[in-house]
A and B are shown apart, each in its own frame.
Chain A
Amino acid sequence: MTGNAFKGLNVRGLSVDYQTASGKVHALRNVDLDVPAGAVVGIVGESGCGKSSLISSIIGQAPDNAQISGRIDFNHQSLLELPPDRMRDLMGQRISVVFQDPMTSLNPIRSIGRQMIDIQYRTGRGRAEKREYAIEMLKKVGVSDPADRMNQYAFQLSGGMRQRVSIAMALMARPDLLIADEPTTALDTTLEVQIIRLLKELQKEIGCSILLVSHHLGMIAELCDYVVVLYAGEVAEAGTVRDIFHHSLHPYTRRLLECDPGLIEKVTRRLPTIAGEIPNLLQISPGCIFAPRCDCAQQACLARRPPLLQLGPGRRVACHRAAELDAA
Chain B
Amino acid sequence: MAAVVSWRFETSRVGISGTLGRIPAALRLVTRSRLGAFGLMIVVAFILIGIFGAWLAPHDPNAINVRARLAPPSWTNLLGTDQLGRDILSRVLVGTRVSLLVALSSILLAAALGILMGLASGYGPRWLDRILIAIFDTVRSFPTLMFGIAVIALFGPSIWTVIAIIVTTTFPIYARIVRTQTMAIKNTEFILAERSIGASPVRIAFVHVLPNIVGQLFILASMDVPVVIMIESGLSFLGLGIRPPNASWGTILNDGYAFVRNSPWPVIAGGVPLILTTIGFTFLGETLRDLLDPKLRNER
**How far, in whole Å, are A60 and B197 apart by their CA atoms in the complex?**
10
A46: CB under 8 A from chain B?
no
Is A302 in contact with chain B by the CB < 8 A criterion? no
B195 proximity list for chain A (CB < 8 A): 61
How many Å from the CB of B181 to the closest CB on chain A? 12
Contact between A111 and B294, CB atoms less than 8 A apart: yes
Contact with A61, one of B190, B192, B293 (Cβ below 8 angstroms) = B192
- Which residues from A are CB-within-8-Å of B292? 109
Q: Is B198 an interface residue (CB 8 A)?
A: yes
Are A97 and B196 in contact, CB atoms less than 8 angstroms apart? yes
Which DSSP category, helix, strand, loop or mixed, fits chain A's interface? Answer: loop
Q: With a CB–CB cut-off of 8 A, which chain A residues contact B125?
A: 64
Q: Are B198 and A88 in contact (CB under 8 A)?
A: yes
A101 CB–B CB distance under 8 Å: yes
Q: Which residues of A contact B208 (CB under 8 A)?
A: 107
Produce 1/0 per residue, B254-266, CB < 8 A to A: 0000000000000
Q: Which residues of B contact A87 (CB under 8 A)?
A: 198
- Please determine whether B12 and A111 come into contact, CB atoms closer than 8 angstroms: yes
The answer to the question of B56 belonging to the interface, with a C-beta cut-off of 8 Å to chain A, is no
* Minimum distance in angstroms from A247 CB to a CB of chain B: 37
* Chain A min CB distance to B235 (Å): 39
Cα of A92 to Cα of B194 in the assembled complex, Å: 9
Q: Are A151 and B15 in contact, with the CB atoms below 8 A? A: yes
Report how far A84 CA is from B199 CA in the complex, Å: 11
A92 and B196 within 8 A (CB): yes
Distance in angstroms between the alpha carbons of A129 and B179 in the assembled complex? 39
Taking A61-B195, A88-B197, A114-B15 as contacts, is the C-beta distance between A153 and B189 under 8 angstroms?
A: no
Contact between A108 and B294, CB atoms less than 8 A apart = yes
Is A143 interfacial (CB 8 A cutoff)? no
CB distance from B190 to the nearest CB of A (A): 5
Instruction: Output the least CB separation between A130 and chain B (Å).
Output: 14
Query: How many whole Å from A74's CB to the nearest CB in chain B?
Result: 14
> Which residues from A are CB-within-8-Å of B216?
none
Residue numbers in B under 8 Å from A284 (CB-CB): none
Does A105 reach chain B (CB closer than 8 Å)?
yes
B131 interface residue (CB < 8 Å to A) = no
Which residues of chain B in 190-214 are interfacial with respect to chain A, using CB atoms and an 8 Å cutoff? 190, 192-193, 195-198, 208, 211-212
23 A-B Cβ contacts within 8 A?
Answer: A61-B195, A64-B125, A88-B198, A92-B196, A92-B198, A97-B193, A97-B196, A99-B192, A101-B189, A104-B190, A109-B18, A109-B212, A110-B18, A111-B12, A111-B15, A111-B294, A113-B12, A114-B15, A114-B18, A151-B11, A153-B295, A155-B294, A155-B295
